[in-house]
C-alpha cells in the first residue's frame, strides 16, 4: 500500500496478471494495473453484505487528484446507503432509442398507438411515421439511451434535420422505387413532434419519468395562407373548360370542381363511395376521414352533379378507375400537374382549394363553427356520426358557398361579397321566408289528400 501519486502509478507494472494497488490514505480507493500497461482507478466497498467494485476511469484521462476526489464522492454516497456499481449496471442495461423505436413501430403496425380522437392511426400516417423513424430518428438517436436524452440533445437533432444532415436517396419496397429523404424546417418540426410522441409512449411504459421533448420550440414551416381570389376562381374555371377539350382529363376536372365546391380533402373526394352519398339528406356520410366518421353538408350544385352521375354509374366509387376495375380514379396527381404547370395558377394544390372554401365562407359571414362543420374539422362536432337530419342552416350555408364558388368558376363577377346587414334587405329576406313557409303550409293538406 502507498499513497497513489503520479510517480507511484507510473512505476507500477504487472508482469503476468493484473493486481490492485491500494491507497494508504483513502480506504477503499485503489489502482488496478494490467499486464498490457493499462491502469484504471476504482473503489471497493460493501453494500447489502456484498463486496462491490466500482471503476472510476482510466489513468491518463483521470489524474490521481481528480480520481481521488471522485472516489471520496462515491464513497460518501455509499455511506448514505447508495450503490454506485448497481446504478451503473442498471444504466448499462437501459433501453436505447433504437430498441424503444422498434417496440413502438411494432405497436404502431398493430394499431396500438392511438391518434386523434383515441383512434388507431391510419395506414398512411403509420407509413409516414415509420419512414421518419427509420430515416431520421434512428440514424441520429439510435445509439443513445432513452434515459440520457435531454432537451438540448433533441434540439440539436432538430437543427441537424433542418440542416439536411439526414438527407439521402433510399430504395423503397416499390418496384424501382426510391425515396428522396430531405431535411428542412418542416421535416424537423414534424420529426420532433413524432419523437415527443415516442417519448410519451416511453413515459407510459415507465422507462422514463418525464418527456424531454416537451417545450422544444419547433420551426414554423410553410404556413398555408394561400387562397384563391374571385379573379383566380374565374381563371380556374376557364382552365377547366379548356382542359375539358382533352378527353383523358374528364374525371380530373370533375374531381377538381367538387373539391372546390365542397371544401373536402383530395382523398375524401377521390375515394368517395356511393354508399357514403346521401342525396336526400344533402350530405356526404364519410365512413372514414382524417377525423374518423364525418357528416359533410353539400350544396345544391354538388347534389345535382351527384344525381346526374348516379344515373349513369352503378359502381362502388363515384370517380371510378378507367379500366373497368372496381377501384377509385388514380390519375389526379399527374393530370393536376399537366393542367396547372405553366398556368397563372401554377403551385395551387388541392389544399389551397379547401383553404379557399373556408376563406370564402368567412367572407360571406358564416361563423367558424359553421365553416368547421362544413369542412369536417374536429371542432365541428355538430356533424357527429349520430346526426341523421342536418340542420337547415348548415344546408343553406353549403348551398350558399357551393353556389357562390360555382358561379365564380363559370365566370360571374360579384360586386359585393360580405353579407349585408342593411335593415331593409334583412326585412325583405324575412318576408320572403315567411311567404314561402305560408305557401308550403297551405299546400300540405292538398298534397296529403
Instruction: Count CA atoms closer than 13 A to 248's CA, side-chain side.
Output: 9
pLDDT of residue 114: 80
Instruction: Count CA atoms closer than 13 A to 215's CA, side-chain side.
Output: 6
pLDDT of residue 80: 93
Closest CA to 199 of 209, 185, 190, 189: 209
Distance CA 417, CA 396 (A): 16
Beta bridge partners of 298: none
Distance CA 245, CA 325 (A): 25
Name the helix (H) or strand (E) containing 97: helix 97-109
Which has more confidence, 418 or 300?
Answer: 300
Is the confidence at residue 205, as pLDDT, over 90? no
165, burial (CB in 10 Å: exposed 0-12, middle 13-18, buried 19+): middle
Distance CA 9, CA 38 (A): 11
Least confident of 175-189, 252-266, 339-353, 360-374: 175-189
pLDDT of residue 441: 63
Least confident of 135-144, 278-287, 389-398: 389-398
CB 382 within 8 A of CB 400: no
Least confident of 104-108, 116-120, 317-321, 394-398: 116-120
Average of per-residue pLDDT across 267-291: 88
Instruction: Quick: pLDDT tens for 66-124.
Output: 999 999 999 999 999 999 998 888 767 778 999 999 999 999 988 888 876 677 888 88
Average of per-residue pLDDT across 168-189: 74
Is the confidence at residue 308, as pLDDT, over 50? yes
pLDDT of residue 385: 43
Beta bridge partners of 19: 33
The four Cα atoms 92, 98, 102, 107 give a dihedral, to 10 degrees, of 90
CATH of 230-418, one of 1.10.443, 1.10.150, 1.10.1760, 1.10.3710: 1.10.443
pLDDT of residue 313: 66
pLDDT of residue 200: 93
Is the confidence at residue 422, as pLDDT, over 60? no
In CATH, what class is 97-205? mainly alpha
pLDDT of residue 421: 52
pLDDT of residue 93: 75
Average of per-residue pLDDT across 276-299: 86
Q: Residue 202: which residues within 8 A CB-CB, separation 6 or more?
A: 95, 100, 146, 208, 211
Instruction: Quick: pLDDT tens for 116-149.
Output: 667 788 888 888 899 999 999 999 999 999 999 9
Q: What are the C-alpha distances in Å from 39 to residues 13, 45, 85, 162? A: 9, 20, 19, 43
Which stretch, 160-174, 229-243, 374-388, has highest mean pLDDT?
Answer: 229-243
| pLDDT-based confidence at residue 325 (cuts at 50, 70, 90) | low
Beta bridge partners of 114: 120
Instruction: Quick: pLDDT tens for 1-41.
Output: 789 999 999 999 888 899 999 999 999 999 999 999 999 99
Name the helix (H) or strand (E) containing 294: strand 294-297
Mean pLDDT score of the chain: 85
Q: State the angle between helix axes of 185-205 and 97-109 in degrees (0 to 180), rounded to the nearest 10.
A: 90
H-state helical runs in 110-150: 123-132, 138-141
Share of the chain above pLDDT 90, in %: 53
pLDDT of residue 384: 46
pLDDT of residue 383: 43
Least confident of 98-102, 170-174, 239-243: 170-174
Domain 6-92: CATH architecture, name and number where available: 2-Layer Sandwich (3.30)
Instruction: Quick: pLDDT tens for 335-392.
Output: 999 999 999 999 899 999 999 999 999 988 888 888 988 988 755 444 444 444 567 7
Amino acid at each position: 500500500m502507498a499513497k497513489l501519486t503520479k510517480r507511484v502509478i507510473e512505476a507500477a507494472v504487472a508482469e503476468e496478471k493484473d493486481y490492485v494497488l491500494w491507497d494508504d490514505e483513502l480506504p477503499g480507493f485503489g489502482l488496478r494495473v494490467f499486464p498490457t500497461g493499462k491502469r484504471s482507478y476504482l473503489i471497493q466497498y460493501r453494500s447489502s453484505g456484498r463486496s462491490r467494485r466500482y471503476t472510476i476511469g482510466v489513468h491518463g484521462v483521470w489524474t490521481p487528484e481528480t480520481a481521488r476526489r471522485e472516489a471520496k464522492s462515491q464513497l460518501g454516497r455509499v455511506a448514505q446507503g447508495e450503490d454506485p456499481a448497481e446504478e451503473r449496471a442498471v444504466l448499462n442495461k437501459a433501453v436505447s432509442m433504437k430498441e424503444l423505436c422498434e417496440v413502438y413501430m411494432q405497436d404502431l403496425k398493430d394499431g396500438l398507438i392511438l391518434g386523434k380522437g383515441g383512434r388507431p392511426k391510419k395506414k398512411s400516417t403509420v407509413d409516414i411515421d415509420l419512414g421518419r423513424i427509420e430515416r431520421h430518428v434512428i440514424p441520429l438517436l439510435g445509439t443513445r439511451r432513452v434515459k440520457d436524452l435531454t432537451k438540448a440533445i433533441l434540439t440539436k437533432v432538430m437543427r441537424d434535420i433542418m440542416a439536411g444532415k439526414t438527407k439521402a436517396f433510399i430504395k423503397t419496397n416499390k418496384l424501382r422505387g426510391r425515396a428522396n429523404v430531405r431535411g428542412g424546417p418542416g421535416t424537423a418540426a414534424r420529426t420532433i413532434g413524432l419523437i415527443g410522441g415516442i417519448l410519451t409512449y416511453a413515459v407510459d411504459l415507465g422507462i422514463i419519468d418525464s418527456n424531454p421533448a416537451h417545450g422544444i420550440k419547433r420551426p414554423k414551416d410553410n404556413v398555408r395562407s394561400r387562397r384563391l381570389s374571385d379573379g383566380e376562381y374565374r381563371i380556374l374555371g376557364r382552365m377547366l373548360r379548356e382542359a375539358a377539350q382533352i378527353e383523358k382529363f374528364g374525371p380530373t376536372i370533375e374531381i377538381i370542381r367538387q373539391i372546390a365546391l365542397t371544401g373536402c380533402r383530395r382523398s375524401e373526394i377521390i375515394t368517395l363511395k356511393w354508399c357514403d352519398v346521401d342525396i336526400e339528406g344533402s350530405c356526404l356520410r364519410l365512413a372514414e376521414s382524417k377525423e374518423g366518421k364525418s357528416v359533410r353538408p353539400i350544396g345544391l350544385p354538388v347534389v345535382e352533379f351527384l344525381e346526374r352521375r348516379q344515373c349513369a354509374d352503378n359502381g362502388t366509387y363515384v370517380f371510378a378507375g378507367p379500366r373497368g376495375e372496381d377501384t377509385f380514379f388514380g390519375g389526379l396527381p399527374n393530370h393536376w400537374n399537366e393542367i396547372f404547370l405553366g398556368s397563372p395558377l401554377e403551385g395551387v394544390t388541392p389544399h389551397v382549394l379547401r383553404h379557399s372554401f373556408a376563406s370564402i365562407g368567412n367572407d360571406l359571414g358564416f361563423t367558424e363553427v359553421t365553416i368547421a362543420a362544413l369542412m369536417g374539422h374536429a371542432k365541428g362536432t355538430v356533424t357527429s356520426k349520430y346526426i341523421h337530419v342536418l340542420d337547415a342552416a348548415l344546408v343553406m350555408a353549403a348551398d350558399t358557398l357551393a353556389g357562390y364558388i360555382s358561379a365564380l368558376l363559370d365566370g360571374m363577377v360579384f360586386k359585393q361579397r360580405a353579407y349585408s346587414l342593411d335593415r331593409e334587405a334583412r326585412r325583405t329576406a324575412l318576408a320572403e321566408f315567411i311567404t314561402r313557409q305560408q305557401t308550403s303550409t297551405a299546400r300540405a293538406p292538398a298534397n296529403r289528400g
